[in-house]
Amino acid sequence: MKTPWQNLEGYPRAIVASVCILLVSGGLCGVQLAIANLPNVPSALAPLAMITGAIEISGILGSALVLAFCLIAWPISAWLQQKSRLQQELEARQLHDAQQSIRDREGGQ
C-alpha cells in the first residue's frame, strides 16, 4: 500500500500523517454521530460507541497537537539550520583569510 507520506521526511511527513489522522478520525466521528442519532439504536451499542468515540477524540487531539508542534517547530528548525550554515561559512572564510594573510607575510620575508 502506498502512503501519501512515503517520499517525505521530517516535519512534512509528520504534518501529512497528522492531517490524514485528523480526516479519518473526523469522518469516523461523523459516522458515529449519524448512527447514534438513528431511531431504535440498540442499547448494546452504547458502550462500543463510547469506546470508539474516546479513541476518535484522542486521535483528533493527538494529531492536532502534533500538527501544531510541527507547524511551529519547522520554521524555527529551518532558521537555526540556516544560521548554523551561515556561521560555518563565516568561520571558513575567516580561516581562509587568516591562512592567506600568513602566506602573504611568509612570501614577503
Instruction: Give domain limits for the chain.
Output: 10-108
**Rounded to two decimals, what is the model's pTM?**
0.68
- Which range, of 7-11, 78-82, 85-89, averages the lowest pLDDT? 7-11
Residue predicted with more confidence, 46 or 92:
92
Instruction: Say if residues 56 and 29 touch (Cβ distance below 8 Å).
Output: yes
Query: Has residue 38 got a pLDDT over 70?
Result: yes
Q: Output the pLDDT for position 103.
A: 86
Rounded mean pLDDT, 17-33: 88
Count of residues making up the chain: 109
- Which range, of 2-11, 24-33, 61-70, 80-89, averages the lowest pLDDT? 2-11
- Round to the nearest angstrom and report the end-to-end CA distance of the chain: 71
